[in-house]
Chains A and B, each alone.
Chain A
């Protein structure tokens, strides 16, 4: 599973870790934050899997799912729900929105078989301005969410501190000396991965994988391809909605308006860094990719500060991660064409 791109990025990560130890940056802090970031972004990355497996491609329309999640979060905050209960309520509401929005999104993508990725990108891009209009006029009443002056329209950034920020992060925190391991958060991610693994072992999940591999065969086997694709897209949207809930509670804020616009790209990068090759995407790709991608991001910041060369580490990080994405795309596209 580990190939050249993964080896390069692992080497880079080892180098960074070495530097971090040399500069006496706390390892306990690095490990804890790396684990938190893994789950914080991992669920969003996980949301790409159903569509990849069903052969629809990378879900560049991730903002649709993110918006569904934000709607759920807004409702929960508006009602003033707190703690884990607040987060669960947000996730529940988000799921309902994800079903509806995912259904509509699927209807669009099913019309453009073969050109889904570029269509999805523009569905995401055009959906955000539409939602901006909604956020500016949404009928929410919690003053903590509204513009302080005028009292109408939602703020671009809403703090979750007094609601459910870090509620999942702090669940069952295991402390060992300096080290703090967010056990509840990791468990949540593990369960989600496991559910998805099991899902792809059911007959329904197998049919989805088969549709991704060979639509003619699936059709002849009596499978309704459009409905399978619709379900894959809804599932991706649903997991993305849950993902943004986890992300927001970890981050402590939820960001509205243009914030979701570019969310698909880091997620797509992470899964490609993990070694995903289209239909053959496994949970391991998600976990490994997110971990490598986010941890290099995490460590390079403080190292750059210590070395007083803030640009250099960032430049290297962007060069390596984006270079790997390019390599992954080239490798995937070139595998079949290399012979000619």
Chain B
């Protein structure tokens, strides 16, 4: 049904895609993998008729869909042709219910009102919508009340609702999934894979883009590997043989081979041996609760020891991303906290910075970066403002007004250049705007900013989310490096249990917003999965 022949795309002088071929039959799942910047998103943009393609001069090559030559000018044409896409960003109406979101613009109406007023002005049949929505949710294997408000759902559930909405589209023939599991924990990712398989079973073709190779192996019939805009390899895969995410015999080898052809080099997995039992408490939380919408934390009582790396994990929506933002005062928090024995009364950013606490935020573009500013400014801003680092010496030391202090550009640039080198940030220059970098490099800029604060305790929330494998290992390496050289205490919240097990000394598992257990990294993966679902290992 889908046939791409020597597709190419040039942005200015940069060629994003070079002679890419891809074909897909109905009911088939085609995996598309590659590191950041390998051209996956560009290819999806061509398929979904994204405006950016036409605005920058269209693409070359032949794009056949259902044996017709296609050139979409806008997403509307792609949708009419039967191509649906689930984006990485959520495009749900937060104020509407799940059912309303799924049926949006395709609502069921009462036939009598349709006869008089037409479909657009017809009277909406809410119960029919609800039934339709529950049916679709059932089809993709999600147990969810269609009357809930979309805005109240956890990130993972939102992703499923978005999938359900696309599936609900009549005449859907091809579904494009752009990293549908990037925001999901391992458990939810399995559900997503099952849902995608169920969709394909209905005869819908699926293009599945993901950084997680295990999943790709578990669900795709063919896997196309892109590197630098070219097809590096296209391999056949039998998903039936890898029902448990690359854990079948030979699965690991396959994974290794895949990642090797994605990056052109083998990725060395970062590993760190846990240190001995630390004694000195750096931070004590008791009955600590955070009201983060969709990810509440309740009554957490936990000691964090000096110099350790503590992992915090849970399924999404069970509270793992609430602790850092709660302590930094981004969301209302209650409870007691002691830092080195001194109680902390209020949770606000400035107070925490003064106590040498810093956070790598989960939402990089909204909380972690000034997207319109240069890398230099992003890396040094917080240190200049809150710690008076990189500041020119005052000419008149007695003038203590804030108006009279200037940043020392030389120091700032020197710091940024050092960071660019040591953190291996891929950018044209340190004066490039932060919005132009890829996710992994943006995260590195956030880390540079964190290092400039020289914090005693660093909270990192989902530090490797939405970035490719090579960059993930680089980020983990940087965190360990920072932990080692700066002697900082590191609290990493993540849904990637495998990553946490490789770098942490202890891992706290949350269930339904409460602390369920604290495990050591040498415990089996199964024990972690069980703990995440609120069960103790036998």
Interface residues of A (CB under 8 A from B): 199, 201-207, 210, 213-214, 216-217, 219-224, 279-280, 339
Is B223 positioned at the interface, with any CB of A under 8 Å from its CB?
A: no
User: Can you pick out 24 interface pairs between chain A and chain B where the beta carbons lie within 8 Å of each other?
Assistant: A199-B403, A201-B407, A202-B402, A203-B402, A203-B405, A203-B406, A204-B402, A204-B405, A206-B381, A206-B385, A213-B371, A213-B372, A214-B369, A219-B349, A220-B328, A220-B330, A220-B368, A222-B354, A222-B385, A223-B385, A224-B350, A279-B372, A280-B372, A339-B51
Is B474 positioned at the interface, with any CB of A under 8 Å from its CB?
A: no
- What residues on B are CB-neighbors of A207 within 8 Å? 385
Closest-CB distance, B333 to chain A (whole angstroms) = 14
Q: Is the CB of B51 within 8 A of A202?
A: no
- What residues on A are CB-neighbors of B354 within 8 Å? 222
List 10 additional A-B contacts (Cβ < 8 Å) besides A206-B384, A222-B353. A201-B406, A202-B403, A202-B405, A202-B406, A206-B407, A214-B366, A214-B369, A216-B367, A217-B370, A222-B382
The complex places the Cα of A224 from the Cα of B402 at a distance, in Å, of: 13
The complex places the Cα of A158 from the Cα of B340 at a distance, in Å, of: 67
Mark each residue of chain B from 282 to 300: 1 if its CB lies under 8 Å from any CB of chain A, else 0. Answer: 0000000000000000000
Is B126 positioned at the interface, with any CB of A under 8 Å from its CB?
A: no
- What residues on B are CB-neighbors of A203 within 8 Å? 384-385, 391, 402, 405-407
The complex places the Cα of A201 from the Cα of B377 at a distance, in Å, of: 12
Is B361 positioned at the interface, with any CB of A under 8 Å from its CB?
A: yes
Closest-CB distance, A232 to chain B (whole angstroms) = 13
Q: Is the CB of B368 within 8 A of A217?
A: yes
Is B117 positioned at the interface, with any CB of A under 8 Å from its CB?
A: no
- What residues on B are CB-neighbors of A213 within 8 Å? 370-373
Closest-CB distance, A210 to chain B (whole angstroms) = 6
Closest-CB distance, B523 to chain A (whole angstroms) = 34
- What residues on B are CB-neighbors of A205 within 8 Å? 403
The complex places the Cα of A222 from the Cα of B354 at a distance, in Å, of: 9
Query: Which residues of B (342-362) have their CB < 8 Å from a CB of A?
Result: 349-350, 353-354, 359, 361
What residue of chain A has the Cβ atom nearest to residue B350's Cβ? A222
Q: Is the CB of B402 within 8 A of A216?
A: no
Asked whether A221 and B369 contact (CB < 8 A) given A202-B405, A203-B391, A206-B407, the answer is no
What residue of chain B has the Cβ atom nearest to residue A214's Cβ? B370
Q: Which of B349, B373, B407 contacts A221 (CB 8 A)?
A: B349
The complex places the Cα of A251 from the Cα of B349 at a distance, in Å, of: 50
Closest-CB distance, B287 to chain A (whole angstroms) = 25
The complex places the Cα of A220 from the Cα of B327 at a distance, in Å, of: 11
The complex places the Cα of A216 from the Cα of B359 at a distance, in Å, of: 13
Q: Is the CB of A216 within 8 A of B403?
A: no
| Residue among A199, A206, A222 with most chain B CB within 10 A | A222
Is B404 positioned at the interface, with any CB of A under 8 Å from its CB?
A: yes
Size bracket, chain B contacts: 20 to 34
- What residues on B are CB-neighbors of A216 within 8 Å? 330, 366-367
Q: Is the CB of A222 within 8 A of B402?
A: no
Interface residues of B (CB under 8 A from A): 51, 328, 330, 349-350, 353-354, 359, 361, 366-373, 377, 381-382, 384-386, 391, 402-407
- What residues on B are CB-neighbors of A210 within 8 Å? 370, 373, 381
Q: Is the CB of A220 within 8 A of B51?
A: no
Q: Which of A220, A224, A279, A280 contacts B361 (CB 8 A)?
A: A220
Closest-CB distance, B509 to chain A (whole angstroms) = 27
Main secondary structure of the interface of A (DSSP, over half): helix
The complex places the Cα of A205 from the Cα of B377 at a distance, in Å, of: 13
Q: Is the CB of A217 within 8 A of B369?
A: yes
Asked whether A222 and B391 contact (CB < 8 A) given A199-B403, A202-B404, A206-B381, the answer is no
- What residues on A are CB-neighbors of B405 within 8 Å? 202-204
- What residues on A are CB-neighbors of B386 within 8 Å? 221-223
Q: Is the CB of A214 within 8 A of B371?
A: yes
| Residue among B330, B377, B385, B405 with most chain A CB within 10 A | B385
Closest-CB distance, A272 to chain B (whole angstroms) = 20
Closest-CB distance, A310 to chain B (whole angstroms) = 46
What residue of chain B has the Cβ atom nearest to residue A204's Cβ? B402
Closest-CB distance, A131 to chain B (whole angstroms) = 30
Closest-CB distance, A220 to chain B (whole angstroms) = 5
- What residues on B are CB-neighbors of A217 within 8 Å? 366-370
Q: Which 5 A-B pairs have the closest CB atoms?
A: A222-B386, A221-B382, A222-B350, A204-B402, A222-B353
The complex places the Cα of A279 from the Cα of B373 at a distance, in Å, of: 12
Closest-CB distance, A84 to chain B (whole angstroms) = 26
- What residues on A are CB-neighbors of B51 within 8 Å? 339
The complex places the Cα of A214 from the Cα of B349 at a distance, in Å, of: 15
Closest-CB distance, B376 to chain A (whole angstroms) = 12
| Residue among A220, A223, A279, A280 with most chain B CB within 10 A | A220
Asked whether A222 and B384 contact (CB < 8 A) given A201-B406, A203-B406, A217-B368, the answer is no
Closest-CB distance, B366 to chain A (whole angstroms) = 5
Closest-CB distance, B99 to chain A (whole angstroms) = 24
What residue of chain A has the Cβ atom nearest to residue B50's Cβ? A339
The complex places the Cα of A222 from the Cα of B453 at a distance, in Å, of: 11
Q: Is the CB of A220 within 8 A of B403?
A: no
- What residues on A are CB-neighbors of B404 within 8 Å? 202
- What residues on A are CB-neighbors of B407 within 8 Å? 201, 203, 206
What residue of chain B has the Cβ atom nearest to residue A203's Cβ? B405
- What residues on B are CB-neighbors of A201 within 8 Å? 406-407
Closest-CB distance, B437 to chain A (whole angstroms) = 16
- What residues on B are CB-neighbors of A224 within 8 Å? 350
- What residues on A are CB-neighbors of B328 within 8 Å? 220
- What residues on A are CB-neighbors of B368 within 8 Å? 217, 220
The complex places the Cα of A199 from the Cα of B404 at a distance, in Å, of: 8
Closest-CB distance, B406 to chain A (whole angstroms) = 6
- What residues on B are CB-neighbors of A219 within 8 Å? 330, 349
- What residues on A are CB-neighbors of B370 within 8 Å? 210, 213-214, 217
Closest-CB distance, B447 to chain A (whole angstroms) = 15
- What residues on B are CB-neighbors of A214 within 8 Å? 366, 369-371
| Residue among B354, B361, B369, B402 with most chain A CB within 10 A | B402
- What residues on A are CB-neighbors of B381 within 8 Å? 206, 210, 221
The complex places the Cα of A213 from the Cα of B381 at a distance, in Å, of: 13
What residue of chain B has the Cβ atom nearest to residue A279's Cβ? B372
What residue of chain A has the Cβ atom nearest to residue B378's Cβ? A217
Closest-CB distance, A213 to chain B (whole angstroms) = 5
The complex places the Cα of A217 from the Cα of B378 at a distance, in Å, of: 10
Closest-CB distance, A48 to chain B (whole angstroms) = 20
Closest-CB distance, A215 to chain B (whole angstroms) = 10
- What residues on A are CB-neighbors of B366 within 8 Å? 214, 216-217
Closest-CB distance, B364 to chain A (whole angstroms) = 10
- What residues on A are CB-neighbors of B385 within 8 Å? 203, 206-207, 221-223
